Amino acid sequence: MTKQSTAMMAMPAATNHNGNRLHGKVALITGGARGMGASFARAMVAQGAHVMITDVLDDAGNKLASSLGSNAAYRRLDVTRRDDWKAAVEDTVRVFGKLNVLVNNAGVVNFAPIDRNDEAMWDQTLSVDLTGAYNGIKASLTAMKQAAPSSIINISSTAGLRGYRSLTAYSAAKFGLRGLTKSVALDLASAKIRCNSVHPGATDTPMLAGHEDAKKQVPMQRVGKPDEIAQLVVFLASDESSFSTGSEFVADGGELAGLAPGQ
């Protein structure tokens, strides 16, 4: 093998930030005003999707939607409120004509060991991170069946695949979201609706603030970028992943592979 051919094989493929991989897709993203959710919205619009951005951060959500042009809109959605969900789905169909991609991304995290994790922390985390996704799936079913093939993408975590100290409620919710994903995938396969979970490792978002040492547990010795997770979401939203359902997609810099030298 020549040096030139070796170099060509080693060169990473360029990411296509403008294209039509999601042409004909209409997505609703929860927790979409900032962090990973905002990256999902930008990446999906760049690939031709129409996106309803939802959140409880109205200023940030409206600003993001305005920056993305006519292919994006924003509305307020508290994922714990089922009436909010009904209205959000109705608005998405009214504005964009249909709904065939649901990204359950909204989440909260409370860091506390079990002996200091009170009932309020538990209830809040489970209601947003797990029941919020259930509410969204239930509210979206009719629209997604009508617009099938459709895709549900649940944003879990590496905490849905292994335990972490001081993340009692968060780990329980993310493990639960993984199980919900599998059951929903089985229930809806015949309706041409796929359901998969994404499991990011430590990622540079507001949720990671105050935990800058998180990269120490990552073999690649860095945290992930929201745009890197967004590429997985684009893949799962697209017809490129048409034979994938009920599966976990991990982006964690090798964290779950085991202990790396220096860890």
Write the pLDDT tens digit of every residue in 197-256: 999 987 776 665 555 566 667 766 677 798 999 999 999 999 999 999 999 999 887 788
Please give the residue that has the higher pLDDT: either 5 or 160. Answer: 160
CATH number of 21-257: 3.40.50.720
- Give the pLDDT score at 255: 85
Mean pLDDT of the chain: 89
Measure CA 220 to chain center: 22
Please give the residue that has the higher pLDDT: either 112 or 182. Answer: 182
Q: What residues does each domain of the chain span? A: 21-257
pLDDT in tens, 139-196: 999 999 999 999 999 999 999 999 989 999 999 999 999 999 999 999 999 999 999 9
- Give the pLDDT score at 258: 83
Please identify which of the residues 74, 134, 164, 170 carries the catalytic annotation: 170
pTM: 0.89
What is the rounded average pLDDT of the residues 38-49? 98
Residue 15 clears pLDDT 60, i.e. is over it: no
Does the active-site annotation cover 170? yes
Residue 66 clears pLDDT 90, i.e. is over it: yes
Q: For the chain, first and last CA: distance in Å?
A: 36
